[in-house]
A = this chain, B = another copy of it.
Amino acid sequence: MDLTLTPKHRALREEVDAFIAAHRGAAPRPGGGRKRPDRKALDWQALLLEHGYFARTIPREYGGFGAPHDVIELAIIADAFSRAGISPGIHNQGISMLVPTLLEVGTEEQKRRWIGPTIRGETIWCQGYSEPGSGSDLAAAQTRAVVEDGHFVINGQKIWTSSAHFADMMFLLCRTEPDKSKHAGLSYLLLPMSAPGIEVRPLRTMTGRAEFNETFFTDVRVPVDQIVMGRGDGWHVANVTLKYERMLLGDPNKLQQRLEAIRRMMEQPGADGARLLDRAEWRDRLLRLQGEVIAARNHNMRLLTETAEGVDSGLGRFIVKYHGTMLAHRLASLALDVMGSTGLLYEPQGEVAEDDPATTWQIDYMYDIGLIIGGGSSNIQKNIIGERGLGLPREPKAAVPAGRN
């Protein structure tokens, strides 16, 4: 254990703090990621990229800052933005899932072409994984693509494609090798949402907005080089992406941001002039959550170190999504309670405008349940933790009634 800050690290911390103090007026509200970034968010993103506070370790030739990988630098930056309650930049599926996937398994050309616009927030991606018949069992995907004239021709249907209605691109898991076994028959394609034959039907959620979609493919054509790795490698690539998704969903910096935002609300005097932070029953609730957030953040640091050292974290990694999404929901729950009746006001804005805080927290509170459910309810996570993490046996197959054998 050595978290000593070198003089260089101390300098960075001061630099980030100074940057935040100087520019905080230009920052959009933290959160987002469920909408196309507005002008303010794009400008902020550009500023962060310029200073290396976003995409810090991504090579310059792909649009990043090109700094060497240093976990403590990243922690200093994340911590400074968390503490200040300032947006650390755009997080969406393209940035958090596709970019690291391309960095890990993409070709040089794919990296040069896609990473820059994606991290700048200009190119928005959606994920084409789930299908109506295969929610949890992704490898059972039936959407198929056959090769004709140097193109994949895609037919089928995806569901739960978040942001498909405003995305520019999709990363798609589909069946290209029907003769091969279930897992070996998949490929991972990149395609523009403007391609003819794609129909996006909004799927309205409990938030009242259509954060998800059903996406239909009818003879959609994509050049054969728009594939990540090779034909039949789709399951491998998808799992690279899922690894980053699980980390995204348990992101402790988001938890820390929320905690800080709640603390600031509790420091404001209420209608009666009293601050909730001065009421011990409220303070204790906040402190309980602070303890859990600290644990999540420390755990994340451990995982980052293990990743950097090539150690397989096993159980430690499997719990992150379940732990993080439940904790995020509890934070949103406290936020609603802190706001009380004022926090009921709810007027979600359109695709680019910012929501007011009450609306944002209400959306978080509901959306978090969607994230807990995502990929088949928390029970699926518990199966993964129990079976892959702890080595407990799988549920036995049910006895098939006689006559159906």
Q: How far is the CB of A168 from chain B (nearest CB, A)?
A: 45
Report if A69 contacts B (CB, 8 A): no
The 0/1 profile, CB within 8 Å of B marked 1, for residues 277-289 of chain A is 0011101100000
Report if A8 contacts B (CB, 8 A): no
A281 contact from B280, B396, B400, Cβ within 8 A: B280
- Return the chain B residue nearest A288 by Cβ: B281
Contacts of A396 in B (CB 8 A): 398-399
Report if A404 contacts B (CB, 8 A): no
Q: Which residues of chain A (366-402) have a CB below 8 Å from chain B?
A: 396-400
Q: How far is the CB of A326 from chain B (nearest CB, A)?
A: 20
Complex Cα gap A113–B399 (Å): 52
Contacts of A400 in B (CB 8 A): 399
The 0/1 profile, CB within 8 Å of B marked 1, for residues 340-361 of chain A is 0000000000000000000000
Q: Which residues of chain A (273-330) have a CB below 8 Å from chain B?
A: 279-281, 283-284
Q: How far is the CB of A238 from chain B (nearest CB, A)?
A: 30
Q: How far is the CB of A291 from chain B (nearest CB, A)?
A: 14
Q: How far is the CB of A333 from chain B (nearest CB, A)?
A: 15
Complex Cα gap A396–B396 (Å): 10
A399 contact from B283, B284, B399, Cβ within 8 A: B399
A398 contact from B279, B280, B284, B398, Cβ within 8 A: B398
Complex Cα gap A279–B282 (Å): 12
- Return the chain B residue nearest A401 by Cβ: B396
Q: How far is the CB of A275 from chain B (nearest CB, A)?
A: 13
Q: How far is the CB of A203 from chain B (nearest CB, A)?
A: 28
Contacts of A397 in B (CB 8 A): 398-399
Contacts of A398 in B (CB 8 A): 396-399
Contacts of A284 in B (CB 8 A): 281, 284
List 4 tightest A-B contacts by C-beta distance, closest first.
A281-B284, A280-B280, A396-B398, A280-B281
Q: List 15 A-B contacts (CB under 8 A).
A: A279-B280, A280-B280, A280-B281, A281-B281, A281-B283, A281-B284, A284-B284, A396-B398, A396-B399, A397-B398, A397-B399, A398-B398, A398-B399, A399-B399, A399-B400
Having A280-B281, A281-B283, A399-B399, one finds 8 other A-B pairs with CB under 8 Å, namely A279-B280, A281-B281, A281-B284, A396-B398, A396-B399, A397-B399, A398-B398, A399-B400
